Amino acid sequence: MSNIGFIGTGIMGKPMAQNLQTAGHNLFFSEHRSAAPADLLGDNGTACPTPRAVAEAADFIIIMVPDTPQVEEVLFGENGVAEGLSAGKTVIDMSSISPIATKEFAKKVNAKGAEYLDAPVSGGEVGAKAATLTIMVGGSQAAFDSAKPLFDAMGKNITLVGGNGDGQTCKVANQIIVALNIQAVSEALLFASKAGADPAKVREALMGGFASSKILEVHGERMIKGTFDPGFRIALHQKDLNLALSGARELKMSLPNTATAQQMFSACAALGGSDWDHSAMIKALEHLSNHSIRD
């Protein structure tokens, strides 16, 4: 079993850490904005005063925080992870952040003699709790092989995509697909409802055809029931689409449907929904149509 540092025990991070503990690993926690929940501490969970102390105690240091600035703070701020690194240790950033920044972070960590893996995830809170996350990894084959038992405790579909930054690039691509699918399901159910059909029955019928998808299955049900407590907050999906759109500008390419989906999320934010689950994009479309599928 491994000694693992874990920084970032929010909606996604907490169940991921619990699954590592269930697999028998020893975890070392440090505060990032808030302390690790008490139920993570005990026989195989230890609180440390700083990210540096976590890195000194652990062989693998997992980071699961909201965005690029927070990862940089955890890694390179005062008493950050980088100050506690030495040869043989591996940093695993499972946050969803900038691919460009990731490559720079990896260079700095490698200069300490340590390995770096970018390993963002997909599957939401449900996948985190069930240990069925999709994990998209960028880094060396050797580092990936050494960390694979950890990934196996948290996910099912685990792929080494390429070098540092490629895992994050894959996650951005994933978020484009998810956002556009949420928009498609929202529009389809809204159309069906306003035309007088029962959206629940429409969803049931579509689940047996070519339109079937995980988004239709999981988020379609959320839309019909109106259960928009986050799984994955709209504000975080906005952040990921910003990475897609800024990357597209750098690559001199157009992502028109991604831009439209981002505007729908922005409309949700204007309605006070930044912390809604991203399936609540339908509420912006309902607002524009003056019709709710739950009426």
Active site residues: 171
Give 219-225 contacts, CB < 8 A, sequence gap 24+.
Answer: 219/182, 219/185, 219/277, 219/278, 219/279, 220/185, 220/189, 222/277, 222/279, 222/280, 223/185, 223/186, 223/189, 223/199, 223/279, 223/280, 223/282, 223/293, 224/189, 224/199, 224/200, 224/293, 224/294, 225/294
Alpha helices in the chain (DSSP H): 13-22, 51-57, 68-76, 99-110, 124-130, 141-154, 166-194, 199-206, 214, 220-225, 234-251, 256-270, 281-289
